[in-house]
Amino acid sequence: MGLTKQGLYDPALEHDSCGVAFVADLSGRASHDIVEQGLTALANLDHRGATGEDAAAGDGAGILTQIPDAFLRGTVPFDLPPQGSYAVGIAYLPVPELERDLATIAIHRIAAEEGLKVIGWRDLPLDTSSLSPVSEAARPYFAQLFVSSHTGDTDIALDRRAYCLRRRVENEVGVYFSSLSARTLVYKGMLTTSQLEQVYPELHDERFASALVLVHSRFSTNTFPSWSLAHPFRMIAHNGEINTIKGNRARMRARESLLATNLIPDSLERIFPICRPGESDSASFDEVLELLHLGGRSLAHAMLMMIP
């Protein structure tokens, strides 16, 4: 029996590509129920993701939430400033301890240069029992970094400083951050949809609350699966494939010398290239959208600029 049109669903619109879902409280009330509904939506997108020969080696799954302030305050062994006055994100650090220590030292140095204070680190508790040996072999060491501004920046102003820190760390140290923000937090990985909540069990903590969640199940098309290329990224989760990506990246590179904003501190040259080599089409889209938004445009304006 074939699929039939029902309500907002039309089988003519079906395509074989990534799955994405969004859950939000229209009144902006944060709750753990929203997070649980997001995880349920993600599980229902299992058919939209892909796996390798080993069915436990997923192309990627992830979730973006607002900062779960009450949860974080109850789990870190240090004092946090008021919500909005600290940025937090998960760093993908090297597994060997010496390399990890050297990377951490470099991150502290760059943070100081960017006018940021490192409040502390939190090792992320994981349950890796469901992981494929393929995923486990590629897994980095996960730790959450907490930073604040020496000048008292909050919310999006703090995000602009954290953005510069994150970009420099990625370029100079080779450490990836799934996010680093005072507003949102991303958990993701080279996972299946069911593995996300298993690998990151704290997503089920009742204190973990958000007024919105964005979830994604990945079917990689133009890049191989990896922990860092899972969605959501910092601003988007993407369903589809951008076939003009080589030209888009070249045009973005050509315009870098013309980029200017008085909202992002100091020269932008230290965060170039905007589109980092080796990323996916979605990652490059996210990198440009993030720059446009943090550079002063509304998110709606920046999104319209991304449409050819």
Identified catalytic residue from 4, 6, 18, 97: 18
Q: At what angle do helices 281-294 and 155-172 cross, to 10 degrees?
A: 140
Determine contact, residues 60/230, Cβ cutoff 8 Å: yes
Please state the separation of Cα 203 from the chain's center in Å. Answer: 15
Beta bridge partners of 244: none
CA 26 from centre of chain? 23
Residue 18 annotated to the active site = yes
Residues 198, 201, 204: CA angle, nearest 5 degrees: 115
Which residues touch 183 (CB under 8 Å, ≥6 apart)? 66, 67, 84, 155, 156, 159
Backbone angles phi, psi at 125, to 5 degrees: -70, 130
Inter-residue long-range contacts of 79-84, CB under 8 Å, 24+ positions, other chains counted: 80/119, 80/146, 81/119, 81/148, 84/154, 84/155, 84/158, 84/182, 84/183
Q: Edge-to-edge strand order for the sheet containing 61-66?
A: 19-24, 212-217, 61-66, 184-189
**Secondary structure of 3-25 as H, E, C letters:** CCCECCECHHHCCCCCEEEEEEC
Beta bridge partners of 64: 186, 214
The CA-based diameter of the chain, rounded to the nearest angstrom, is: 63
Question: Which residues carry out catalysis?
Answer: 18
